[in-house]
A and B are shown apart, each in its own frame.
Chain A
C-alpha cells in the first residue's frame, strides 16, 4: 500500500480537488501488468470555470461543452463547443462580442497509468473556429486638440452590430485529467493559440473572439484555459 500512498500524495499536491482514488489491491505475485485494452470510452462534460465566471462577472456569459473519444492507445480525439457573450471596455471603446465556437483536435496522453486507473497528463492540438458578432456600444472620439468637452458617442454610424464574423485559429495545449470516481474526471488545461484567419467587420476589428479571447493589434497570439468535469460512457465494441 506504500505505493498507493505516494501516488495519492502526488495527485493531491497537483490537483487540490482529488478525492478518493479507486483502490485496487495489488497482487504482488501477479506478472508485470499486461494492460487489458481499455474499452473505447467516450467522455463528455462541461467546463466549470465559465459558469462560475458568469456568476461573478456581470459582463460575461458563457458555457463550454467538452468531449473526447479514445481512438488508440494514448490518442484521443477531442472537441470543445462553446458560447460566449462578453462586454468590455477596451481603452476608448465599449463593445460586446458574442458568438459560438468549435474546437476540434487530438490529445496525446503522456502518462503511464497503473492498472485500472485512467489519469492523463496530456498535450494536444486543436483547430478552432468561431462564428460571432460584435456590437459597438459607445466610444470616445480620438482628438489631439481638446477644444470641445468630450462625451461618449452612443449613436453614430459606428455604434452598431457587425454580424457574420468568424475567425479560425490553431491551439496547442497541455493539461491533466484525473479520475476522481469510477466514471468521473476532473481536468485542467492551459492553451496557447494563434489566429490563422478572420473575417473582420468593416470599420471595426475583431477585438475579442469567443473561444480565442482578446485579439491584439500587434500579434495574433492568445491564451486560454478550462477546468472541466467530464463523465465517461464506456462503449464496448466487439464480441464479448
Chain B
C-alpha cells in the first residue's frame, strides 16, 4: 500500500494548490502607457502658412460640457469625443474685451480602437477628415483657414492641425 513517488506527487499537488490560493496576479496597466491621444494644433499666419503666429489672448471651450480647456503655451491639445465622430469647440479671441470674436468650430474625424494589452484594454486613434475643421454659422470668423499637417492622430508628439488666422 504505497505510493512509489510520493514526493513528486505531493510536489505537483502543492504547486497547483499554491497557485490556486495565491490570488491570480492581476495585470496592471503601467503608468505611462500611451493612452488615447488628443488632437494637437497650433496657430499659423494665413499669409505665410508655414510660419507660426501667436494669436495672443484666446480661450478654448468645449461646447457639449461648457468646460474651458486649460491652455499652456502652444502647441495646444484638444480632447476628441469618442461617442461620435465630431467635436465642437468655441475659440474665443480676446475674451471679455471689446473686440471679442467667438468662432464655433467643429473638428471631424474617424476613430479606430487599438488593443494595448489585457490590463489597459483599448485606446483610440483618429484619422482627420479632409474637411477636418468646419465653421458653424459665423459671418466673421477669426480663424480664416486650416491645413492638415498629420492626418493620423496616434500620439501627442507632433502637431496635427494648423489653424490659420
Neighbouring B residues of A156 by C-beta, 8 Å = 111-113
Number of interface residues of A (CB under 8 A): 43
Rounded to whole Å, the gap between the CB of A6 and the closest CB of chain B is 9
Pick the residue among B15, B113, B119 that contacts A157 (CB under 8 A): B113
Determine whether the beta carbon of B16 is less than 8 Å from that of A174: yes
In this complex, what residue of B is CB-closest to A114? B1
By a beta-carbon cutoff of 8 Å, the part of chain A in contact with chain B is 7, 90-93, 110-112, 114, 121, 123, 139-145, 147-148, 150-151, 153, 156-158, 172-174, 190-192, 203-205, 207, 214, 216-218, 221, 223, 225
In this complex, what residue of A is CB-closest to B78? A147
Determine whether the beta carbon of B118 is less than 8 Å from that of A153: no
B interface bracket (residues with beta carbon within 8 Å of A): 35 or more
Cα A121 to Cα B4 with chains together (Å)? 10
Neighbouring B residues of A218 by C-beta, 8 Å = 25, 27
Query: B12 within 8 Å of A by Cβ?
Result: yes
| A121-B3, A143-B123, A205-B115 known; A192+B15 contact, CB < 8 A | yes
Complex interface residues of chain B between 42 and 73 (CB less than 8 A to chain A): 62, 64-65, 67, 69
Q: Which of B79-87, B100-108, B137-145 contacts A (4 or more CB under 8 A)?
A: B79-87
Cα A157 to Cα B124 with chains together (Å)? 10
Neighbouring A residues of B79 by C-beta, 8 Å = 143, 145, 147-148
Rounded to whole Å, the gap between the CB of B153 and the closest CB of chain A is 13
Neighbouring A residues of B115 by C-beta, 8 Å = 158, 203-205
Determine whether the beta carbon of A142 is less than 8 Å from that of B121: yes
Rounded to whole Å, the gap between the CB of B116 and the closest CB of chain A is 6
Pick the residue among A123, A142, A204 that contacts B8 (CB under 8 A): A123
Rounded to whole Å, the gap between the CB of A166 and the closest CB of chain B is 19
Complex interface residues of chain B between 15 and 34 (CB less than 8 A to chain A): 15-17, 19-20, 24-27, 29, 33
In this complex, what residue of A is CB-closest to B12? A174
Determine whether the beta carbon of B9 is less than 8 Å from that of A110: yes
| A142-B122, A143-B35 known; A123+B117 contact, CB < 8 A | no
In this complex, what residue of A is CB-closest to B36? A143
| A192-B19, A203-B115, A217-B27 known; A158+B9 contact, CB < 8 A | no
Max count, chain B CB within 10 A of own CB: residue among A158, A173, A192, A221: A158
Neighbouring B residues of A191 by C-beta, 8 Å = 16
